[in-house]
Structure 1
Amino acid sequence: MSPVAAIATTADVAAGPRHVAIIMDGNGRWAKARHLPRVAGHRAGVEAVRRIVEAAPDLGIEVLTLYAFSSENWKRPADEVGDLMGLLRHYVRSELAELHRNGIKLLFIGNYKALKPDLVTLLEDARTRTAGNTRMTLVIALNYGGQDEIIRAAQALAREVAPDAIDAAAFEARLDTAGLPPPDVVVRTSGEQRLSNFLLWQAAYAEFVVTERLWPDFDGAALAETCAEFTTRERRFGGR
């Protein structure tokens, strides 16, 4: 039995988080510590994604959202951005059949339609192919920024809704995450303690878990520990 399966059989999976969102941080530091180029850290980060996606359903996670490329990441050197986009293409192409067999639905949030047309087509084809899957939803945030998402939702409201009809439900219906539950827990690897423009509206009452592990070292057991930590939190949502 795998470590994750063992934990899943003994832990109260039903009390765990439905939606886990992860800020995947530390690829560059992982590579630097090993005297490797940054792209080696990003490749190791893709392997971590595979491990987490495999482990998450057994822990009762219904939605897993991964912050893959932010709207601010365009500030990185062009060769690094190119490496990241190449790894994204490779991941979708190489993993799509396995994700589909395992009942994983793929969704993408952010202004991903501004990416190169061939990549947009690849992403939308993957979304369409997996649309009927129900075991878990994997949400990948691409060219995503929480402030930009809020602005786009506000613009849609201004076009479509009378001012007196605007409420939280109307706003949430125009976010990229419409129809998904809000994250129960937001995880950040590498020890940094900031949101970095991630799910600013949706994370209003999320629990935060910060780990010193760099993203390439994160695995199913670490995810299980996160779920166990979540069950110890008392969530009051502003009450007493």
Structure 2
Amino acid sequence: MAGRAIWKGLLKIGSTTIPVKLYSAVADRTVRFHLLDDKHLMRVKQHMVNPDSDEEVTNQEIKKGYEIEPGKFVILTDEDLESLEPKPSREIEVSEFVPPESINQQWYERPYYIGPDGDVQGYFALAEALENRKREGIARWVMRNKSYIGALRSQDGYLVLVTLRNAAEVISARELPTPAGRAPSAKELNMAEQLVGMLEGEFDASEFEDEYRKRVMEFIERKAKGQAPKLSAVKTKRKTTSLDSVLAKSLESLKKGKRAA
């Protein structure tokens, strides 16, 4: 398992504990830029300024406050915030196992790989049991002074822990405006099902990449070498209004492609 462990502890299920390590399953590849002085190309620094007096405020003079009404704040000190932090723990405690379909996709947030840290047999036994029973564990743990809740699942023979958003962050589809208009006709539904059927396939992650990041890095590389940057044209699609015509054109295009192949 590649990468360096970011956390070590015990996976606890009832009275059973399994030593584990936590690894990041995703990496931030965002292109980041530095702010430079236009004349000297030196990095510039940002300063905190009082908007009324235009005077600089030092770090020692800055306080944290929560606005309870316009212009009125509750001040919290570092000691206040430290007292509210959860107690440190080295346990990922699983409280129950649920069917995966009982957790809607919008609840999932950040994935982590869980690797064994000693009890290899117990680790892989649990991964296989989750796969066989088609279940995910609901887990709670503390990491870097923050409490988390997550879903423990089996993937490719390994354990994966995905943090879950809290209830206040998840918006139910029932809160969305009710769509206006008619229901699809039998013909439109049939054509839509044909379209789905003709595009059925297996997910290939290698086909998906950050096109913007790729374009930016290629642009930077050419400028760094003193070459004239080349920009490929961005394609735009013509708007259509008829669902019937959209589906018909899509199906015809797919059929032509299959005949040509």
TM-score for both structures, normalised by structure 1: 0.18
More helix by percentage = 1
By relative contact order (CA 8 Å, sep 6+), the higher-ranking structure is: 1
Structure number with the higher strand fraction is 2
TM-score by length of 2: 0.17
